Structure 1
Amino acid sequence: MHLILGGTFDPVHHGHLRMAVELRERLGVDRVALVPCHIPPHREQPGTRSEDRLALLKLAIAGEPGLTVDDRELNRQGPSFTAETLSQLRDELGPREPLAMVVGMDSFAGFHRWRDWRRIPELAHIIVVNRPGAELEPQSEPAQLLNQRKAAAINELHGRPAGLCLALDLPLLEISATGIRERIRSGRSPRYLLPDPVWQAIRDRGLYRDEV
């Protein structure tokens, strides 16, 4: 199964990385592809350039063979739409290879506002990671999608190319990229919240210091 985890990674931190490792082990896949977003259509714009975020992400996963970087969204102009990314991957993988995307419960609550959202389950499985305090409105379209396509077990995702939804509880590190940016901007240290090579590169590049 080909598994992707998208995000702005602004900057990448241990919460992102630990979740990716947990997902790889829990789902029994060889690798998790981290897909940095170029221009997020549903949230504030990143605090630094796409090429800087990509460089930090590559630094962060160096030496971890279970994690890879897929930079396809950074190579496209305009907003990064999940359906477009999944469509490209489906063309590359063929019709039979299981493909799955990961989304947090907080983001999944607004899934019905994503572009071409009804097409996404036809392209890939959807793995929804539960987050403390994030819940779905019982009658909302995302809740109905989760119930209608609910997988009973992880191995079901390996047995078909797309179409299932799976809610997962993972041991998450509550680290905020926003909080890291605020620390850097105010002159406080974010060390141990993100990999040391990433923090060193942020200092070397002078990133996030002038963010307004």
Structure 2
Amino acid sequence: MDSSHSPLPTPHSLLRLYYGGTFDPVHDGHLAIARAARDELGVPVRLMPAADPPHRAPPGADARQRAHLLDLAVQDEAGLSVDRRELRRAEREPDSRSYTVDTLRELRAELGQDAPIALLIGADSLIGLPTWREWRALFGLAHFVVAERTGSPLDADLPDILATELAARWAPSPMALSDAPAGRVFRLRQPLQPESATDIRLRIAAGRPWRHLVPPAVAAAITDERLYLSRATDPGPL
């Protein structure tokens, strides 16, 4: 069952904000970005764990375990909750890959064509957007909220094809995301945090300190379930 926490007392808009990722494991950096987006935009943030990829071993923890760690991470966080739609879709379609464009189309069908929807991503994800499936179609389905990296101007790193696409899409304020259902890009001034899920997995496997990088309840569950003790599964940075 999805986490059901009270949203912000008085949301500033009807914007629906989703934060997708592997969250393997969820850490303090993820939560810092989610809180910053919640506070800057004045709306709840729904964290969406990615499903396990088909036909190969799951990441360091499987989807059920990763979602459980997310539940623990947000249990005392007003305005943060867990959305398991990608996991449910994987259960319905076990042989299919989970693509962001499919998730956004599902949200559109559920919420309607006029609902403002936004996807919260990091700067590296934005820079890599042209490699995503049907990436140009994404702008017709949602806004983007981008957490910038410390000391690295986002504009300087954009590939030309993406810079051209984004030139007329930058949103001057959070309220601009409520004025249209999709198509704008807002810079979240709270920068990306130094915590890395890859580093945490490696620290656990090597017996190095790691608990200070995740919420206490998450640290306790990782220890109890003996997660990430092997270096064998290390899929990437999310």
TM-score normalised to structure 1 length: 0.91
- Which deviations, in whole Å up to 9, do the C-alpha atoms of 1:74-102 show, x marking residues without a partner? 22233321111011111111122110001
Q: Which moved more, 1:128-137 or 1:9-18?
A: 128-137
d(CA) in 1 for partners of 2:36 and 2:23? 17
Q: 1:47 aligns with which of 35, 40, 60?
A: 60
1:121 partnered with 2:134? no
d(CA) in 2 for partners of 1:138 and 1:125? 18
d(CA) in 2 for partners of 1:166 and 1:146? 11
Q: 1:156 aligns with which of 168, 171, 176?
A: 176
Return closer, same or farther for 1:165/1:140 CA change in 2, 3 Å cut-off: same
Deviation of 1:32 (Å): 0.2
Q: How does 1:1-212 map onto structure 2 within 5 Å?
A: 1-29=15-43, 31-39=44-52, 46-75=59-88, 76=90, 77=94, 78-132=96-150, 133=152, 135=154, 136-137=156-157, 140-212=160-232
Q: Assess if the C-alpha contact under 8 Å between 1:8 and 1:40 holds in 2.
A: no
Q: Assess if the C-alpha contact under 8 Å between 1:124 and 1:162 holds in 2.
A: yes
Which ranges of structure 2 fall in alignment gaps of 5 or more residues?
1-14, 233-238
Give the count of matched residue pairs. Answer: 209
Which ranges of structure 1 fall in alignment gaps of 5 or more residues?
none
Residue identity in the other structure for 2:220: Q
Return closer, same or farther for 1:131/1:40 CA change in 2, 3 Å cut-off: farther
d(CA) in 2 for partners of 1:159 and 1:114? 26
Identity in percent: 43
Deviation of 1:134 (Å): 6.9
d(CA) in 2 for partners of 1:71 and 1:22? 22
Helix, strand or coil: the match of 1:192?
helix
Residue in structure 1 matched with residue 8 of structure 2 by the alignment: none
d(CA) in 2 for partners of 1:139 and 1:38? 29
TM-score normalised to structure 2 length: 0.82
Deviation of 1:170 (Å): 0.8
Q: Assess if the C-alpha contact under 8 Å between 2:37 and 2:188 holds in 1.
A: no
d(CA) in 1 for partners of 2:153 and 2:65? 30
Deviation of 1:187 (Å): 1.1
Q: Assess if the C-alpha contact under 8 Å between 1:146 and 1:166 holds in 2.
A: no
Superposed CA RMSD in Å reads 2.0
Residue identity in the other structure for 2:20: G
d(CA) in 1 for partners of 2:166 and 2:144? 9
